[in-house]
Amino acid sequence: MIEKIPFLHRATAYNIMIEDDISFADLHVLLDEVAARGGFELDDGLAEIFEVEIAGKRYCAAVDGLDVMIVVR
């Protein structure tokens, strides 16, 4: 079941949706990487997809404003 989890990262509250497990450390790294790529700068109503590899796991994150849906590949 996909859960929507509020998550505070660098003074911003994100809505994280994920079915699989992810550590808090990996989630912080993922959000930092998406932010570095400009993922939270645009809010045009269209989700952007970002692929991030952390510790040998590949995550696919769909970002729409502060909503982040994550799939582990």
pTM: 0.89
Q: What are the average pLDDT values for consecutive 10-residue runs of the chain, which has 73 residues?
A: 87 93 94 95 83 96 94 90
**Helix spans in 1-73 (H):** 24-36
What is the span of the domain harbouring residue 33?
3-72
Q: Check residue 1 and give its pLDDT.
A: 67
Q: Residue 58's pLDDT is what?
A: 96
Where are the extended beta strands (E) located within the chain? 3-9, 12-18, 48-54, 57-64, 67-72
As for how many domains the chain has, the answer is: 1
